[in-house]
Amino acid sequence: MAHAPSNNLREPLILGEKSYHDITVDICRPIETRANKLWYVVFGLSFITMLWGIGLIAYTVGTGLGVWGLNKSVEWAWDITNFVWWIGIGHAGTLISAILLLFRQRWRMSINRAAEAMTIFAVICAAIYPVFHMGRVWVGYWVLPLPNQFGSLWANFNSPLLWDVFAISTYFSVSLVFWYIGLIPDFATVRDRAITPAAKKAYTLLSFGWTGNAKAWARFEEVSLVLAGLSTPLVLSVHTIVSMDFATSVIPGWHTTIFPPYFVAGAIFSGFAMVLTLMLIVRKVLGLEAYITVAHVEAMNKIIILTGSIVGVAYLTELFMSWYSGVEYEQYAFLNRATGPYWWAYWSMMTCNVVTPQLFWFPKIRKSLVATFIISIFVNIGMWFERFVIIVTSLHRDYLPSSWMMFHPSFVDIGIFVGSIGLFFVMFLLFARTFPVIALNELKTILKATGKYKRTSPQPEYKIEDLILESRKGKSGAAIHGEEHH
Amino acid sequence: MHDGVYPAVTAGAAPVVEAAEEPATAPEHKEGDAHATPHGRPQAPVAVAAPVAAAISADPATISTAAANLNKVKGGAFELVIYEKTGLGDGRLANNPWLQELPDPISRVTWDNYITMSIADMNSDDFKFNILNGQEQLSNVAEVVVNGVTLKLPVYASPGQAKGTIGIALGYGRTKAGKTANGIGANAFPAVTINKDNGFFEYSAVDVKVNKTSETYNLAGTQTFHTMMGRAIVKETTLDAYKKDAKAGNEPVLLSLSNGTKDTPNNVNLWEDHPRLNHKWGMSIDLNTCLGCGACVIGCHSENNVAVVGKDEVRRGRDMHWLRIDRYYTSDMTEKKAEEEGVGAIDKFLDMEVPSDSPRVVFQPVMCQHCNHAPCETVCPVLATTHSNEGLNQMTYNRCIGTKYCGNNCPYKVRRFNWFKYADNSAFDFHMNDTLGKMVLNPDVIVRGRGVMEKCSMCVQRIQEGKLNAKKEGRRPIDGEIKTACQQVCPTNAITFGDLNDDTHTVTKHSKEPRMYHLLEEVGIQPSVFYMTKVRNVSASEL
């Protein structure tokens, strides 16, 4: 990354007068040390929840979709709500890593790694729903335009669900490659510091033989830019296409041209909220307060105000357009959202998404980590309700009142959602202990430019040499590689 | 052809139908004694309609008997009318799962009998029963004490039922009828007495006590929302207006175009039309002649191997009926009234949800409308639902992967999903899991597996058969040669099927009639099924 001149008007992005070596040590610490009890407790809980979710998915596939709460009028509910919610969450990672890279926002470097991990994990969680909401999941591969022996059967390119398949698989693969490319130099650092043969071997494989020479760095920078360029349209396209699942339909409350921009803003909004939720925990648990600072939180909070306001304007525009359209079905659909039997969902959405983020106009709240954490949870909840409101309240009362029904989730609906949260945290917790959670080599590029730093390294809390000796005692013939890579 | 107008009172129809229909045509009941039943059974001592009362007024003895009978009905006591349901009759057909799952024409409740009661009585201080029985509000259970017999049943709100009366259907509470009928509801026969004077069964009783209990019960209704919410779903007009203008009540739906003109949705079109080289199948449904009896639903069940899903699944809103009959009550709140009285939109719609105390009732059979620009077809990712070049919207079950997107995007909500495996499954013990029961299945129609969507095919197997027969004889199918199952069983010929490309077919003539309209035409999906305005012999103020 380019070295921008130091700017004293801005708060430093790395606190605590770190040296290059400090950065390495701080960020490798979770990988090289043992997890504490809390980690095991949270991991255990997440793992059990995940298993419960897997069990319920197996139950669904084995018995039939009837174990969910769906009915003849509301044939999508929690499944697609959760899908859109998770996909939306993923968007912040892509925005941070791609768009902020192109805009040379240096503050992204402390959070992009974890945010991209969140993207990958969120897309995996999201994928559960379109897959298992299919009545015949075992023939789900028919959505892929594969050459086949069923005759001339081919996918329907008119169907937004098919666009989803392309949009999300592209999104997932590009995000994964982008994330992985960024990880290679950091894996190499971990490899160079690894003391056990297993870790050595694993990180050697993961780092693809990275040597850190100038040419490799030059190519790394180039490919990062190219991938950022490729990812940038994806930030806009994925949720645009997800929104078309609804926008291209004829259902009042779905059939709206405002959906693409509104969904993209909502996705970034919810994604940043989730990044904040996660990063506020991560910085505390992994002791990364010096790297993820109040300045970072504040920058993200500003994006939350922006996107939250866009979402708020979109909600009001929807209301206006439904009235202005003169279409009785549209008018009723929106009146029913706000005042019908699901009014509580609508007003939860309004409160969480429109009102609470506006508190960030106050610098005190914007800079308060506790307030930010609470508001980020509110936004996560509000964005879930947004999708619930769009999907369920539109379907439950559409054209013919004879078909109007309520939707009630079954324990399976709830269990699979909770299970996907468990899966997310299982992946994230494993990531936090095995991957460098901050792009440490990238971060080193801004150390000098963004604040006070140290030229000489103080003694680390633990000496790598001691660890080597320790491991030698334990396992004779263990390979010793103490050389550190900057 | 039923251009002729049926009188609104259909003598001889199911008693409950009368109960709902009659107040519109015989308003004297409203003003008359609260205990005068609209069920109109002559045996019932107090069921004296106004003209009859006038006729017998000459006989003082009869009057005093009637007065004595009226006096017997003490404060808080009810008059009970015991009736037969359209499907089960007196219960001799109770072991047939098709009929158990056939919604009652009026209440739309399946699989149970219940106490029908007027909303005014349910709201009274004695009871305060839940009115909106369905998914959200469970029905309160009450005990009915009649002639020393106690019947414990859920109470169902029946708009239009006279205050002070209750109704209970026969045919339930069976103990030895078979696996389907046993143990459903309560048996009302012990409450039937024999009239000492004429030896006839007395299907009514006075001085009936209704006691509230603390229990609730979830009645399995297929329709839990009862009014049209001010939408032009069933179009109606009066006979006088119809005589003046045959298009009365059927004002065309017009869309405003960007060039300032207006046009019908069928002419405003972004899509290319499907080719209609040979046949173009279509169907007309005359709302004038439809009684709402539900024979078509059963005809469809038997023709198309439609699964019975049972009480619990109906409660969850998962009945499999390819063809359903929508029943709408009128509400006291109308668009016009809201405008005149300045009622706000929120209150207007909340009031519209509540049926009138003495509503008019309309029926509307709704099946797949075989839209020519079908919203379901564009959204299926695997082309499991496609358009035939004969105008049918066809479902390829083997190709369906079950995303249910088509079902969501259907404005008529006629698509039915196989939430479970309904055949060969002991959890659905309704004869599709045993060899004898399977012999009833139609071999021309596939039994759908779990996880696929299904819907009305317009009896494509019958169309195919008719086409082949015609081809063998080197001619085109003649009018009425191909009949769908629903059309075949309709007692009033409300349903007509045929080829819209053939001018000799009745359906083509219907399509050119002024009463013809498409349901939800404004969505622009060009349905192949169309409806005919309902013409009522009432004054304009009563409509």
* Residue-level pLDDT at B16: 39
pLDDT tens track for A179-220: 999 899 999 988 888 888 988 999 999 999 898 889 999 999
Burial of A376 per CB tally in 10 Å (0-12, 13-18, 19+): buried
Burial of B214 per CB tally in 10 Å (0-12, 13-18, 19+): exposed
CB contact under 8 A, A158 and B403: no
* Residue-level pLDDT at B10: 38
Query: Domain-by-domain residue ranges, chain A?
Result: 20-137+156-463
Domain annotation for chain B: domains and CATH numbers: 15-221 (2.40.40.20), 236-542 (3.30.70.20)
* Residue-level pLDDT at B397: 93
CB contact under 8 A, B453 and A249: no
- Categorize the per-residue pLDDT at A79 as very low, low, confident or very high, splitting at 50, 70 and 90: very high
- Of the candidates B334, B318, B281, B289, the one whose C-alpha atom is nearest the C-alpha of residue B498 is B281
User: What integer best gives the mean pLDDT of chain A?
Assistant: 86
Is the confidence at residue B52, as pLDDT, over 60?
Answer: no
Task: Report the pLDDT averaged over residues B181-206.
Answer: 87
Is the confidence at residue B29, as pLDDT, over 70?
Answer: no
User: What integer best gives the mean pLDDT of chain B?
Assistant: 83
Is the confidence at residue B19, as pLDDT, over 80?
Answer: no
* Residue-level pLDDT at B51: 42
CB contact under 8 A, A398 and B418: no
What residues in B contact A139, CB-CB < 8 Å? 401
Is the confidence at residue B144, as pLDDT, over 60?
Answer: yes
Of all residues in chain A, the one with the smallest CA distance to B421 is A64
Per DSSP bridges, beta strands B324-329 and B393-395 are: unpaired
Burial of B198 per CB tally in 10 Å (0-12, 13-18, 19+): exposed
Please report, rounded to a whole number, the percentage of residues in chain A having pLDDT higher than 70: 91
From residue A98, alpha-carbon distances to A467, B357, B402 in Å are 38, 64, 36
- Categorize the per-residue pLDDT at A481 as very low, low, confident or very high, splitting at 50, 70 and 90: very low
More confident site: A459 or A44:
A44
Is the confidence at residue B148, as pLDDT, over 90?
Answer: no
* Residue-level pLDDT at A56: 95
**B205 neighbors B146 (Cβ within 8 angstroms):** yes
pLDDT tens track for B462-511: 999 999 999 999 999 999 899 999 999 999 999 999 999 989 999 999 99
Q: Is the predicted ipTM greater than 0.90, yes or no?
A: no
* Residue-level pLDDT at B7: 40
CB contact under 8 A, B345 and A153: no
pLDDT tens track for B244-283: 998 888 888 888 888 888 888 888 888 888 887 889 999 9
CB contact under 8 A, A65 and B412: no
B525 touches chain A (CB under 8 A): yes
B54 touches chain A (CB under 8 A): no
**B81 neighbors B165 (Cβ within 8 angstroms):** yes
Dihedrals φ, ψ of B490, to 5°? -65, 120
For the record, the structure tokens of A341 come out as: 């039997």
**B374 neighbors A156 (Cβ within 8 angstroms):** no
- Of A44-53, B116-125, B385-394, the poorest mean pLDDT is in B116-125
Is the confidence at residue A116, as pLDDT, over 70?
Answer: yes
What residues in B contact A161, CB-CB < 8 Å? 379-381, 403, 405
Task: Report the pLDDT averaged over residues B381-403.
Answer: 92
Task: Report the pLDDT averaged over residues B432-447.
Answer: 90
- Stretch (H or E) spanning A88: helix A78-94
For the record, the structure tokens of A206 come out as: 């993961």
pLDDT tens track for A369-406: 899 999 999 999 999 999 999 999 999 999 999 999 99
CB contact under 8 A, A248 and B401: no
CA dihedral of A18, A23, A26, A30, whole degrees rounded to 10: 170
From residue A242, alpha-carbon distances to A249, A303, B411 in Å are 12, 22, 21
Is the confidence at residue B47, as pLDDT, over 90?
Answer: no
For the record, the structure tokens of A51 come out as: 């298993």
* Residue-level pLDDT at A454: 65
- Categorize the per-residue pLDDT at A437 as very low, low, confident or very high, splitting at 50, 70 and 90: confident
Nearest Cα of chain B lies from the Cα of A294 at a distance, in angstroms, of 45
DSSP H helical ranges for B56-192 = 60-72, 97-101, 119-123
Please report, rounded to a whole number, the percentage of residues in chain A having pLDDT higher than 90: 51
CA angle, A16 as apex, A15 and A20 as ends, to 5°?
90
Is the confidence at residue A76, as pLDDT, over 70?
Answer: yes
Put simply, the chain B residues between 235 and 294 with a CB less than 8 A from any chain A CB are: none
Nearest to A136 among B231, B364, B402 (CB): B402
Task: Report the pLDDT averaged over residues A323-347.
Answer: 91
* Residue-level pLDDT at A243: 92
What residues in A contact B382, CB-CB < 8 Å? 142-143, 153, 155-156
CB contact under 8 A, A245 and B375: no
Packing angle of the helix pair A20-32, A160-193 (nearest 10 deg) = 110
More confident site: B174 or B42:
B174
Dihedrals φ, ψ of A333, to 5°? -55, -40
* Residue-level pLDDT at B251: 86
* Residue-level pLDDT at B290: 93
Of all residues in chain B, the one with the smallest CA distance to A67 is B419
Cα radius of gyration rounded to whole Å, chain B: 25
**A253 neighbors A333 (Cβ within 8 angstroms):** yes
- Categorize the per-residue pLDDT at B60 as very low, low, confident or very high, splitting at 50, 70 and 90: low
- Which residue's entry shows tokens 């369906």? B400
Burial of A454 per CB tally in 10 Å (0-12, 13-18, 19+): middle
Put simply, the chain B residues between 331 and 350 with a CB less than 8 A from any chain A CB are: 345-346, 349
State the CB neighbour count (10 A cutoff) for residue B199. 7
DSSP 8-state symbol, A252: T
B419 touches chain A (CB under 8 A): yes
CA angle, B118 as apex, B112 and B121 as ends, to 5°?
115
Is the confidence at residue A2, as pLDDT, over 80?
Answer: no
Nearest Cα of chain A lies from the Cα of B330 at a distance, in angstroms, of 13
